[in-house]
Structure 1
């Protein structure tokens, strides 16, 4: 079984924060500011941001 490289927590945290910042920036460029239930982008998890980004991106392609 292959071994999984241990990534320092700080590096992982920074990568997650950078990805979240990127997604929030892209969503704002697409004029997406709040979720339908009123949550601001900064209140969302990485998973929620990823899902919304993909949904908004696919809607704009139509």
Structure 2
């Protein structure tokens, strides 16, 4: 559904953005296993793939919007 695809897209993109910022704040330590920023970053990136890639979610949203218009 459109709402589900929009929620998945937003959540996964927000998680990637926030975790990327966290890694940037930690600097070099952000990529070590000593801090959770590394795990959050990897998990967030996997979320964009595991739940359906962001581009697929965008296609689902576009298809649903097209149905609504036509």
Specify which structure has the higher proportion of helix: 2
Taking structure 1 as the reference length, what is the TM-score of the superposition?
0.44
Q: Using CA pairs below 8 Å that are at least 6 residues apart, which structure has the higher relative contact order? A: 2
